[in-house]
Structure 1
Amino acid sequence: MSNDINKRPPVPVSPAIPGYGSDYGNGRARGTKNLRWKFGCHLRRLGLATYNARTLRTDEKMLELEEEIDKLDWNIIGLSEIRRVGEDMIIIESSNLFYHREGDHLSQGGVGFIVNKSLVNNVVNIGSVSTRVAYLILRITKRYSLKVIQVYAPTSAHPDEEVEEM
């Protein structure tokens, strides 16, 4: 009876099950495969944030924002309610990339991004679909990209037609 307790069921080895373990063969699995490492997707943590700016119309407000975000650990900040004129992409004083698109009216709306200077060279494309939706395509590796979308949705105080159009 003591022999039955010590018997364990056979464990499948790599040759018996293709793709099982780390393909070292003869049961020497040595842990699982890390496919992300194999294909180059070993990106460090990406800090994403959103911020309702209320207004960034003046350069003084931009400087205030730059001072505040300098205290944070971030990579990309999606901005809403920017209230700046036109659509533009500039490198600001801190070497970060600032993109904005104006809203329907100068006094309200507008979306955009601030991209940390460490990722500026990885920006593939940046643009907007409308005055309420902006997108950013960031190259992660040679093979993979990430699309970040910033949306400034209308509140329930807006007419139903505007919400439906969004």
Structure 2
Amino acid sequence: MMSTPNLITIPDRSGPGIKTAAPVVGFHQGGLGEKWATGGEQEQNQRNNQHLRIAKQEVTIGTWNVRSLSATGKLNELEHEMGNYTWNILGIAEMRWIGNGEIISEDGHKVWWSGDEKKLGGVGFIVHLKILNTVMECEPISNRVIRIRIRAAPRNLSVIQVYAPTSDCNEDELEMFYHQLEATLKNIPKKDIFIVMGDWNAKIGSDAHAEWPGTA
């Protein structure tokens, strides 16, 4: 059985709440963290559908550069601010957390992150407690790339959060970032709907044409 597709809205990366049209998916209710092998998806679907009910809901996906969540209490401040908006999945750039892992916040939402030992950059996701049971897996790639996969209908959804190097970075760092992103895209199951979002450190503004010909 398949749900009627529902509209997903994606806030602008400057902060949650500015909505634009995006691909459509509806979400199943399932077990937290269940992973489906690609080759056995159909068989697993048949088993899971015996005890899962399909939920029809509008899901908001956004991205936010928080500058840093390394100081004590910063995550609580972020969650308080997020309470002013409608959101379900929030991709985060520049978390500045060490290593990678996952935690449950005081409000019951789940945080996944991917960083390094120097607290440089860092990316992650916060998933609202109401849809935690749709998360199939979350894969940390580097301090600039992380991927999450969501159980959905008519097709599952893969979301990649990035924090791109600035133009001041050396060529090796830029090349590594785009290589990681390309490899991550290639590993997404072919039938998934996918979204790539985050802070691309792009130059914008009325004077951008001075350094970037062809832009306005």
SS in 2 for 1:73: coil
SS of aligned partner of 1:59:
coil
Q: 2:124 aligns with which of 79, 94, 112?
A: 112
8 A Cα contact 2:99 2:117, kept in partner? no
8 A Cα contact 2:103 2:110, kept in partner: yes
Matches within 5 A, 1:66-145: 66-103=79-116, 105-106=118-119, 108-141=120-153, 144-145=155-156
Residue 58 of structure 1, CA deviation: 2.6
Deviation, 1:90, is 1.1
Separation in 2 of the partners of 1:39 and 1:66?
33
**Conservation of the 8 A alpha-carbon contact between 1:111 and 1:151:** yes
SS in 2 for 1:47: strand
The superposition leaves residues 62-103 of structure 1 with CA deviations (integer Å, 9 ceiling, x where unpaired) of 111010001110111100110112211111011111111113
Determine the C-alpha separation between the residues in 2 that align with 1:152 and 1:48: 17
| Superposed CA RMSD | 1.7
User: Residue 56 in 1 paired to residue 19 in 2?
Assistant: no
**Structure 2: which 5+ runs fail to align?**
6-25, 27-56, 178-216
Distance 1:41 1:152 in 2: 33
Structure 1 segments unaligned to the other structure (5+ residues): 1-37
Q: Which has the higher contact order (CA 8 A, sep 6+)?
A: 2
1:151 alignment counterpart: 162
Q: Does 1:40 align with 2:3?
A: yes
- Which structure has the highest strand share of the two? 2
Percent identity of paired positions between Structure 1 and Structure 2: 35
SS in 1 for 2:141: strand
Question: Could you tell me how far apart the structure 2 residues matched to 1:164 and 1:156 are?
Answer: 12
Residue 128 of structure 1, CA deviation: 1.4
Distance of 1:61 and 1:75 partners within structure 2: 19
Amino acid of the structure 2 residue aligned with 1:135: R
Aligned positions, number = 127
CA contact (8 A) 1:104 1:131 kept: no
Q: Distance in 1 between matches of 2:84 and 2:175?
A: 38
- Quote the offset at 1:139 in angstroms: 0.5
> Is the 2:114–2:141 contact (alpha carbons within 8 Å) kept by the matching residues of 1?
no
Q: Is the Cα contact below 8 Å between 1:41 and 1:140 reproduced in 2?
A: no
Pairwise CA distance, 1:104? 6.0
* Higher Cα radius of gyration: 1
Find the aligned partners of 2:81 and 2:117 in 1 and give their Cα distance. 27
Q: Report if aligned partners of 2:115, 2:142 keep a CA contact under 8 Å in 1.
A: no
Shift of 1:41: 4.2
TM-score under structure 1 length normalisation: 0.71
Q: Point out 4+ residue stretches in structure 1 off by more than 6 angstroms.
A: none
Q: What is the CA distance between 1:45 and its match in structure 2?
A: 2.7
